[in-house]
Each structure stands twice: as C-alpha cells, then as structure tokens.
Amino acid sequence: MASPAQAVQLPAKLTGYVHDLERNIGQVVLGKPDVVRLCLVALLAGEHVLLEDVPGVGKTLVAKALAKSVSGEFCRLQFTPDLLPSDILGSSVYDTKQSQFLFHRGPVFSNIVLADEINRAPPRTQSALLEAMSEGQVSVDGETHTLPKPFLVIATQNPFEFEGTYALPESQLDRFLLRISMGYPDRSDERRVLDSHRLGEPVQELKSVVTPQQIIELQEAVRSIAVEASVADYLLDIVHQTRDSEELQVGVSTRGALSLYRASQSLAMVEGRSFVVPDDVKRLAPYVLAHRVIQKGILRGSSRELGEAIIRRLVEQTPVPE
C-alpha cells in the first residue's frame, strides 16, 4: 500500500467541497464541531448515522442542516408505533386507466432521510428501513427499486425512554457506521443558540453549497485514500482485542473492521489528507465499534457510554505504529 510520502495530493476542489459543507452546517449547529465532522465522515463513506441523546439537544437540527447544505431531496420520517413498512418504502396502487399496478415511491426515496425516534416503530417497520440502508434498494411485490445516490439515513433515538419503544437489536445496529451522542452544549455556546434563534429558525435560511453529484465525487475519492500496511495492522489489532477481551461476550465482526477502515479513509478526506494515520483509527474506534460488541454480564441495551469506555481501554492497550 502507498505510504504517506507516496500519497497523491487531494484535488483542491474536493477539499473545498468538504470545507464548504462543514462551514455551512457549523453556522447553525453551534458548539458541536466533532458531531458535524462525524456526520460528514458517514456521508462521505456512504454509510449511516445513529444519533442518540435526550430530546432537545439538536439531533434533528444536525440532520436538517446537513440536508439543507446538499441540494438533494430530504424527508423526515416521524417513527410511531402505527407506522407501516409501506409508509416508508411505498406501495403498488392499481391504475384503472392503464389497468395495471403502478409503484408509488415512499419517502425513503430521498438523498437524506431523517428517521426521528426510530425505536418507537415496531421491529417490522424498523427492518424495512434498515434493509433499504443495507442494500441501497427496495423490494416491493417482487420488484426491486434502486434508491437514489447519495443516500444517507440519520436516525435518532432517546436512550432513556423505554415505555412504548422497541430496542434495535445488535444485528440492526450494525447497519449504522457511527453511533454518536450529541451531549449538552457549553454555556457560552448555548447563549449563542439563544441569540441566533431570537428571530426564528436559522436552519431555514441555509443555502445548499454542494450538489448530490459532488457528494458522489467525494465518496469515490474516499476509496482512493491510502492506508499503509502498518495502519491496517493497527486497525486489526484493535478488532482482535475486542474478540479476546474478558469484558466482551461478542467482539467486532469482519464487517465492523471494514466499517472502521472506510470511516478512517473518510476522516482523512474530511481533514484534507490523502492518507490515513493511526490517530484516525484511534479517534473513530469508539463510535464505530462500541455498538458492534456485546458486553458480558450486562443485559442487552446497556449504555452506550459503557461500550465506548471498553473500546477506549482496548485502544489504549494497543501499541500504535510509528
């Protein structure tokens, strides 16, 4: 594999697209640069994000700001216990004039989909969306329909509310590249939020700065980001640590290792580098791997913080290549 010294310089227009996106979203998502950057990592990797935190800390705002910044189609799905798979995917309707069934596309046929409170919908409905996320297509009545590109799902859930909710099983959590917590803003940032909302919702004033085709260019460029053999071995060392850990019942799968690999390439792109460094892997490991492991002696649905703490300990124990 190419070393950093051999890596090709990223085209200025690609780094410009990323800079414009980050700056545009940062105008309304105040005090959360790490969350914004992680969402961009998922977008450029062609994967999806699960935002988990208490209501009212800006989860929906992040999705709206990202959608506004990309001149594609956006939809918001409010998940409820009575939501059906056809409400998401669409359905076939009989057309009397043409004497045939015609497929009417559902809201999932958008570039950016906000799945609000995804754990409020029953498992069958959750599975319908997660299958679309995994396959990039929808199958209805024996016909397959391809979803648009780029396609990003930002799902939200409140981890502290259990009545009337359906926890996502581990196999479905695995469909998300990153599991992120927003956290409360600092007092100074919260004051800025109050000032910026004095005259209304600032996200409504955002203009798009990139096109879907430019996002596809970035996604293709991510795959060419160089990963040195020593960095790939470092990534695998962390993955194998999860399989040998006495704290974990189930470690990270090969798909999880691939997700961390792709996310590391994407982070390098977001930061304007054409090669991955060990710090990329180290920074992303808790967000990419924590929801892909099962802890010993803990009931399913244990806290995100505990999983991330275990991954961080394992990362610290793993020697970093020079």
Domain ranges within the chain, ordered by starting residue? 12-195+208-317
In words, the CATH class of domain 12-195+208-317 is alpha beta
CB atoms within 10 A of CB 190: 13
Task: Say how far apart CA 133 and CA 127 lie, in whole Å.
Answer: 10
Tokens of residue 191, six digits: 């004051």
Model's pTM, two decimal places?
Answer: 0.90
In this prediction, residues 193-209 reach a mean pLDDT of 86
Residues 151, 157, 158: CA angle, nearest 5 degrees: 165
Whether the Cβ atoms of residue 156 and residue 51 lie closer than 8 Å to each other: yes
- The interaxial angle of helices 278-289 and 304-317, nearest 10 deg, is 150
pLDDT above 70 for 1: no
263 or 2: whose pLDDT is higher?
Answer: 263
| Per-residue pLDDT tens digits for 136-185 | 888 888 888 899 999 999 999 887 666 667 888 877 888 899 999 888 88
100 or 286: whose pLDDT is higher?
Answer: 286
244 or 100: whose pLDDT is higher?
Answer: 244
In this prediction, residues 112-118 reach a mean pLDDT of 91
200 or 88: whose pLDDT is higher?
Answer: 88
Task: Say how far apart CA 316 and CA 277 lie, in whole Å.
Answer: 16
Task: Say how far apart CA 88 and CA 76 lie, in whole Å.
Answer: 10
Of the candidates 173, 274, 171, the one whose C-alpha atom is nearest the C-alpha of residue 218 is: 274
3-state class percentages of the chain: helix first, strand second, coil last, to nearest 5: 45, 15, 35
In this prediction, residues 290-311 reach a mean pLDDT of 77
Task: Say how far apart CA 236 and CA 177 lie, in whole Å.
Answer: 17
